[in-house]
Amino acid sequence: MAKTLIEFIADKITKTANAQPASKAAAAGSYYQSSNNGGAGMIGQYYSYIEGDARNKAMSVPTVSRARDLMASVLGCMGLKMYNEIWNGDEMEKMPIAPRTWLRKIDPTLPNNFIMAWTFDDLFFFGRAFWYITSRTADGFPASFTRLPAAMVQTLDQSGPVWFAPSKQIVFQGGELDSNDVVQFLSPIQGIVYQSTQAVATALKLESARYRNSSSAIPAGILRQTGGEPLSGQELADLAASFNHARETNQTAALNEFVTYTETLTSPDKMLLIDSAEFQAMEMARLCNIPPYLAGISVGSYSYQSSAESRMDLWTFGVRAYADCIAGTLSQNNVLPNGTYVEFDVEDYLTGEYSLTNHDMPQMPDTVDVVSQS
């Protein structure tokens, strides 16, 4: 029997309500956009990526730029190695193991030098960094990553500027991401765009004042009329011009009793605020947690340092906290199996041995199956 129109409509509504939405396994996040992970659709759309105005303003301060580049170059040059620990009867001993494939290529489209340096950049300025898992191996662990600029990530469950734990509500480009597909690095040091904002603002204003003064012409001296009939503006200009012309060919000046010459006391170092700039550079070195001499600031107690001592100071006072943050995060169970750890190869850096390149390193065959979201 043919269905009436009302029965036909009711049947369609029932079938629609009972239908299950299509879903795919969370084999982490290729660049796709789904109903429950809308922010992933904007990952890899590099035309929309930004680093943030606060970060860019701080980078315009020379000392901050120097400190950032020094520490980023260290983390960018150091390699990663993998190990586990066993008890040898007296203590826990590190046992090197074969690295996973992503240890050599974190992001298949970029060298590790780049992604590590910019991961540090996010930690340095914002106190946290984010990697999105773009593919996983057959055992469910990450196989590749891509970096998300920290300035573009919002966490709805934490307002900052101090981050207490990995967020469960991550928004990127207006869409929420699955927190299981995001590796979150939390720095032990608060991001500098949130701390000492007045010190950064003072440095920027000082640079602006120095820039204005650098374009100001300072006269070498002033001719002043002290008596007689007042000269007009044109007559004063002619007097100054003739005086300058006479100085080009004569070393001795002659003036009558109605005109005096006074040398200008303002010097270029005062105009460029050299002392203030030195003090502010020291303040910025303190803010960035590096020894001032590494930023080219004259400090008496550090009048001489060997290159080895300088590397050790940079590692100890500046880089190590961020390196431990990155290595510790990559050793978590959402990245590696339990009992497997990652650390930076610090010895080559401290000894200055940079001759070993990726071509000299043993290459692991890409035999692990990779599962990616399509």
Query: What local confidence, expressed as pLDDT, does residue 303 receive?
Result: 53
Q: The tokens of 244 are what?
A: 């300058």
Query: What local confidence, expressed as pLDDT, does residue 358 receive?
Result: 44
Categorize the per-residue pLDDT at 22 as very low, low, confident or very high, splitting at 50, 70 and 90. very low
What are the DSSP E strand ranges found in the chain?
A: 80-87, 92-96, 128-137, 142-148, 153-155, 170-172, 175-177, 182-186, 221-225, 259-263, 340-344, 370-371
Q: Is 289 helix (H, G, I), strand (E, B) or coil?
A: coil
pLDDT of residue 349 exceeding 90: no
Q: Which of 98, 165, 52, 141 is nearest to 363 (CA)?
A: 98
For residue 88, give the amino acid letter. Answer: N
Helix axes 112-126, 320-330, angle to 10 degrees: 110
pLDDT of residue 334 exceeding 90: yes
| DSSP assigned state of 311 | H
Mean predicted confidence (pLDDT) in 250-266: 74
Mean predicted confidence (pLDDT) in 75-93: 90
Mean predicted confidence (pLDDT) in 261-273: 72
pLDDT tens-digit profile of 185-219?
999 999 999 988 888 899 889 888 888 777 766 66
Query: What local confidence, expressed as pLDDT, does residue 7 receive?
Result: 56
- Segment of 10-19, 94-103, 301-310 carrying the highest mean pLDDT: 94-103
pLDDT of residue 18 exceeding 50: no
Question: Who wins on pLDDT, 120 or 217?
Answer: 120
Query: What local confidence, expressed as pLDDT, does residue 123 receive?
Result: 96
pLDDT tens-digit profile of 242-254?
877 777 777 777 7
Query: What local confidence, expressed as pLDDT, does residue 233 receive?
Result: 80
